[in-house]
Chains A and B, each alone.
Chain A
Amino acid sequence: MNFIKNVDVVVVGGGITGTAILRELSKYSLKCILVEKEPDLALGTTKANSAIIHSGFDAPFGSQKALTNVRGNRLYHELQGQLGLDIKWLGSLVVAVNDEEMETLKDLLVRGIKNGVKNLEILDKEATLAKEPNLKKDIKGALWAPSAGVCWPFDIALSFARCAVQNGAEVLTNCTVNKILTEGDKVLGVDTSMGSIKAKYVINAAGLSADKIAATAGDNSFTIHPRKGEYILFDKTASEFLVKGIVFPTPTKTSKGILICTTVHGNTFIGPNAHDQEDKDNKATTSMGMEEIIASSRNLIENVPLGAAITEFSGLRAVSNTGDFIIQEGTVKGLIHAAGIQSPGLSAAPAIAEEVVELIRTLETGLLLKRNFKAIVAKRKVFSELKIDEQSKLCSENTLYGRIVCRCETVTEGEIVDAIHETCGAKTLDGVKRRTRAGMGRCQGGFCGPKVTQILARELGIPVTEVLKEGSASKMFFAKKEAGEETK
């Protein structure tokens, strides 16, 4: 068999789980590669979720979810500085609207304490309204969890990947795993759209496809089914009419409920709902779903400013049939699953990574930590966050920082060019959007879209007609027609 690469570990899947694992692996003297089927990292569930680092009272005591959530929450405090992550530790409220729900809050408090969550507190109505004055006046109280935060998941996954790459790991995008190769009762590697990769260990962090990937090695120990969650995102000017932090309703048996929550950049959103579906590719938002989210948010806030909605999107949770995370060896030696990572997957990712690597350490004796692990990832220059004299200095160093391309979010051409050329850089319009926020503002790329497209074409050395929005078949523009070339 011809192998294009020979490594120690292949991580399948470039979402928050896969990238966290890759970073953890890159601390050790292991040759690692991450393969991602899409043109960019984190285009699955990591791209479309509530962006919350939960405190950890939700999951049942003793579950993988609970353990990794609480540990992950603590790890993010360290990682924030090292990787320059945007995280705001705003704390979360679970709001009760009747006495029965107040009882549920007490259960959550008890569970949270057992799970190891610090500083949980039940607040009465006045204290709750003091924190969130726009809540309806007939609420009863809330569970306050100060250790919860909001973050930017795509940027975290990207920072994990960039940290791994600066420590010798490799990342391959546009690389689909067709099957896991086995030899006898152990893994041999993976067969991908780019060729076969030989590996001692295969980490299955393939999100929605994790069961499909496992099955290619004859491992049918779990199934994953998608559960859709839809969101409505509001303009920053609407935030003062909504919430300042993270507001949950009291949870039901199936779902944490439909939140009203801020983002780390100052927007607010409502969502997600929770509906199971068969199709792992269907990410369409639905009118019923949006009505459901709006109605639910009106249980907590009187006037939801729908006129200020700027976009709607949905994400698919990868729900395992066991109901918990699946972090364990597969039925084939060397295959390790990190699957079924739905909420609190984002919060738990650094801890999940530790557990996966711990599994490898028990199997691979004599594994050494690198002495020169570069933990620090330089924070990206964000023009709009700099003081005026820093902005001025930046412009004099490089005139491209003097041209504002995205007016709504104040993003400069310099930052867009940086985002294209950085490690694991942007290759698509949405890739630029996710790295720089260009196109995330109220005009949703109406003004900057054509400009960013032209910058991508210039920087990548490709024609404008080849620039993609996101997926590999998402070309945006076409050459003008020759005479006689009409579309019927």
Chain B
Amino acid sequence: MQELEYDIVIIGGGPAGLSAAYSAYENGARSILIIERDFELGGILQQCIHNGFGLHHFKEELTGPGYAQRCIELIANKPEIVTMVDTMVLDISTEKKIIAVSPKEGLMKITGKTIILTMGCRERTRGAIRIPGERPAGIFTAGAAQRMVNMVGYLPGQKIVILGSGDIGLIMARRMSLEGCKVQAVLEICPFSNGLTRNIVQCLQDYEIPLLLAHTITEIHGKDRLTGITVSKVDENMRPIAGTEFDIECDTLLLSVGLIPENELSRGLHLKMHPLTNGPIVNQRRTTSLPGIYAAGNVVHVHDLVDFVSDEAEIAGKFAALEVQGKVCDALRRTEVKTGEGIRTCVPQILDIPAEGEAVRLFMRVGAPERKVKLEILSDGQVILNKLLPVAKPSEMIAVDISAEKTKLMGCELTVRLSRGV
């Protein structure tokens, strides 16, 4: 059994892992390993063949595979960055000892001086939302269907209903239409849509696919294969309203009902987890509750833009690199970031600021759609920053920069909240 050691071991070779590796290298690390479970690098981007990626990060609009290619090129031809594909991490111990396995190498014991968790996220299932009815073939999560359509070359069915108006569902509505299938409707339980507005336009409106807000599926029909669904309107508590049921004929149901960080390894390490993001709690350097273990990307909190994933991962890569070179100072002052009125999640949840201050970017999401609100950041009760938001949606992450100068004056607690009636 091979026993290997690297300064930085990155778990997951998607955009987060690749960006972390690149940044680590740029910041002086020279012993980096990326472990990827798929047969090639690029992560979920390889199946996201649509465009819309990279406008911020590469100043160019790219397809998913195009963005992946850019990230791969940035780490290519560097012997100090080793990549292992078709390799699954089975376990990580708190002593940073990794057990991984691949068909080519068998079992391996790999030690990392530092580890960066970039495993991405997975899709919520039918079971998690408890849709009643039979359990026929023809029900897929949107991402699984996307892989089959875009990389393996098969259609999940012909007459399709999509549950959930998140971006994956909207993108698949367009994709299935382009493949000649009939998309009957997109159903969304909230009274507002959860995807980017641009996707409502270019995926639903363009193809005249009805979007039924405040609706949910109350029964699934079909023994061996799906034959249809019963749909109901829901009230403000998202409970079905009796008497509003109607049926939609379909042979395929694609579920786009939420993403959850792949937190198996994070939980296995007993990292402090955040109950709303379902990812590990991190500070602005993306260190988790275990020193030397970093996390970035969808594994920390689900992003909408891969550009922000790369930004976040580059921070993790930088500080992992500085740590292995002994260039990180210990004297850090801790500030807890709390969410206040109107803000549902904010990452990082902790700031560990050195004496000279450190520029910080906060990524947050509102809990409900808002219009003309003011975002306020308070340090121990005093407003240190505010930003006017003409529109804010839960499905669109907001990034706010705090200058290094401002961080020098922060107290023990930072609150992020909305102020309405502006």
A interface residues (Cβ-Cβ under 8 A, vs B): 232-233, 237, 281-287, 289-290, 307, 309-313, 388-389, 391-392, 395-396, 399-400, 402-404, 407-408, 410, 413, 442-447, 449-450, 454, 464-465, 468-481, 485-488
Neighbouring A residues of B125 by C-beta, 8 Å: 310-311, 442-444, 446
- Which residues from chain B contact A480 at a C-beta distance below 8 Å? 153-155, 179
Choose one: A285, A486, A487; the contact of B132 (CB below 8 Å).
Answer: A285
> Are B152 and A487 touching (Cβ within 8 A)?
no
Can you list 13 A-B contacts (CB < 8 A)?
Answer: A289-B132, A310-B127, A391-B107, A403-B88, A404-B88, A444-B125, A464-B152, A469-B137, A471-B224, A473-B223, A473-B225, A481-B180, A486-B180
Query: Which residues of A lie under 8 Å from residue B122 when comparing CB positions?
Result: 442-443, 446-447
B267→A286 contact, CB < 8 A = no
Instruction: List chain B positions with a Cβ less than 8 A from chain A.
Output: 1, 37, 86, 88, 90, 99, 101-107, 122-123, 125-128, 130, 132-138, 140-141, 143-144, 147-148, 152-159, 179-182, 218-220, 223-225, 240, 264, 267
Please report the C-alpha to C-alpha distance between residue A480 and residue B152 in the assembled complex, in whole angstroms: 11
Contact A237 B104 (CB under 8 A): no
Q: Are A232 and B130 interface neighbours, CB within 8 A? A: yes
> Which residues of B have CB within 8 Å of A471?
223-224
The answer on a CB contact under 8 Å between B218 and A474 is: no
B158 in complex: contacting residue of A400, A407, A487, CB < 8 Å: A487
Cβ A487 vs Cβ B134 within 8 A? no
User: With A391-B101, A487-B180 as given contacts, are A474 and B155 in contact (CB-CB < 8 Å)?
Assistant: no
Pairwise interchain contact B155-A478, C-beta atoms closer than 8 A: yes
Given that A443-B122, A444-B126, A474-B137 are known contacts, is A479 also in contact with B148, CB under 8 Å in the complex?
no
CB distance from B180 to the nearest CB of A (A): 4
Within 8 Å CB of A479, what residues of B?
154-155
Interface pair B133/A284, CB less than 8 Å apart: yes
| Chain B nearest CB, measured from A424 CB (Å) | 21
- Residue of chain B at shortest CB distance from A410: B90
Cβ contact within 8 Å between B182 and A290: no
Instruction: Say whether A392 contacts B127, CB under 8 Å.
Output: no
When A446-B122, A487-B182 are in contact, do A464 and B154 touch as well, CB less than 8 Å? Answer: yes
* Residue in B closest to A463 when the chains form the complex, CB atoms: B154
Q: B137 contacts A284, CB within 8 Å? A: no
Contact of A403 with B103 in the complex, beta carbons under 8 Å = yes
B155 touches A309 (CB 8 A): no
A446-B125, A447-B144, A477-B154 are known contacts. Are A392 and B106 too (CB-CB below 8 A)?
Answer: yes
Q: Does B102 contact A481, Cβ atoms closer than 8 Å?
A: no
The 3 nearest A-B residue pairs measured at CB:
A311-B127, A471-B224, A469-B137
List 5 extra interface pairs beyond A395-B103, A443-B125, A444-B127, CB under 8 A.
A395-B101, A396-B106, A477-B148, A478-B154, A487-B159
What separation, in Å, do the CA atoms of A213 and B86 have in the docked complex?
Answer: 51
A285, B133: Cβ atoms under 8 Å?
Answer: yes
Which residues of B sit under 8 angstroms from A472, Cβ to Cβ? 224
State how many angstroms separate the Cβ of A474 from the closest Cβ of chain B.
Answer: 4
Residue of A nearest to B156 (CB): A477
Contact of A402 among B102, B130, B134 (CB under 8 A): B102
| B137 A468 Cβ-Cβ under 8 A | yes
Point out the residue from B102, B104, B105, B130 that lies within 8 Å of A312, measured CB to CB: B130
Task: Tell me which of B102, B104, B141 contacts A446 (CB under 8 A).
Answer: B141
**Among A237, A402, A445, contact of B105 (Cβ-Cβ < 8 Å):** A402
The smallest beta-carbon distance between B62 and chain A, in angstroms, is 25
| Alpha-carbon distance between A289 and B223 when the two chains are bound, in angstroms | 19
* A284 lies within 8 A of B144 (CB): no
State which of B103, B132, B154 has its C-beta within 8 Å of the C-beta of A399: B103
- CB proximity of B6 to chain A, nearest CB, Å: 20
Which A residues lie within 8 Å of B104 (CB)?
399, 402
User: With the chains together, A336 CA to B40 CA distance in Å?
Assistant: 58
Residues B148 and A450 in contact, CB atoms below 8 Å apart: yes
Contact B127 A309, beta carbon cutoff 8 Å = yes
Minimum Cβ distance to chain A for residue B309 (Å): 19
| Partner of A450 from B144, B223, B264 at Cβ < 8 Å | B144
Which residues of chain A come closer than 8 Å to B159, judged between CB atoms?
Answer: 487
Complex Cα–Cα for A474 and B153 (A): 19
CB distance from A393 to the nearest CB of B (A): 9
Tell me the bound Cα distance from A464 to B179 in angstroms.
Answer: 18
B179:A481 contact, CB within 8 angstroms: yes
B132 near A286 with CB under 8 A, answer yes
Chain B proximity of A37: nearest CB distance (Å): 13
Whether B219 pairs with A450 at a CB distance below 8 angstroms is: no
Contact A402 B103 (CB under 8 A): yes
CB distance from B126 to the nearest CB of A (A): 7
Give min CB distance, B314 to chain A, whole Å: 26
Contact call A487/B181, Cβ cutoff below 8 A? yes
Q: Give Cα A477 to B103, complex, Å.
A: 28
Check A481/B155 contact, CB under 8 A, given A310-B127, A404-B101: yes
